[in-house]
Amino acid sequence: MKNPIKTFLFSLIVALSLNAIDMFFHYLTNTTVHLGYVSVKLTIIFLSVYLIAQFIGINKKEGIITSIFGPFMFYLYYLFAYPTLNRAIFRIDDQFYFMFAHMIMMLVSYFSAYWWIVKQNLRKLCFFVSSITSLLALNILYFMVLLKLKGIPDYEAVNMMVFTDALKILILLIIAIGFVTIFFYRKKFKGIIAGLISAVLGFIFLKNLNLGLLYLIYSFVMVNLVFYFIESFGGTK
């Protein structure tokens, strides 16, 4: 894949997917999820995937190389960057062994997108995994950016979403995307259906996060964009 737009979309979905799995893992293990570090990871993973994909290619070997290179690069960032949170108080993933967990997450993210392109018999499953994880990242990022815009300090914001909140978002996405994957996978309007289901369920079950009505619009739009992006780099648009 040498088309820069398709490479961009592929890299964006992989980067979002990796960050979603990573953030969910952090909530599960009570490790701090911080907008600053998430932004850095998203940028580093995106650039790692994009540069290798655009100038070398997208295949199994490059997927393995990218899954090592990306996590190693943000491990180096942790070593040398000035911490934006007090690491003596807030537990983050700057230990060396976290890099191996990130490599596994990266493999899942990369190959769900790659197999969407090359394996016809796995396309439905890959679409399901890539769309859910990408949207999970975008939903959590919405909440984190909202707190930042409200002027809430980082040391308070990191405690305002917990594992049960991330789990709720994941479950409602599984319901919305699973429904259209089973019944409307080949329909052009599946994004509208999934977006509506996601927005309605989010409004019902995420009231404790005080996301507001704007979240309903955001959720609907993001579902449709992610569906479009995945289908575009997969060659169905």
In tens, the pLDDT along 89-116 reads: 566 666 777 788 889 999 999 999 999 9
| Span 70-93, average pLDDT | 73
pLDDT at 86: 60
Mean pLDDT in residue range 142-161? 86
- CA 223 – CA 201 distance, rounded (Å): 13
Q: Average pLDDT for residues 75-102, to the nearest whole number? A: 72
Mean of pLDDT values over 161-176: 92
C-alpha 118/C-alpha 64 separation (Å) is 16
Dist CA 36 CA 41 (whole Å)? 9
Which pLDDT score is estimated for 47?
94
pTM: 0.91
On the question of pLDDT at 121 being above 70, the answer is yes
Nearest alpha-carbon partner for 173 in 220, 111, 208, 229 = 220
Least confident of 69-73, 77-81, 204-208: 77-81
pLDDT category of residue 237 using cuts at 50, 70 and 90:
very low
Mean pLDDT within 192-216: 87
The ranges assigned to domains in the chain are: 4-233
Q: What is the DSSP letter of 96?
A: T
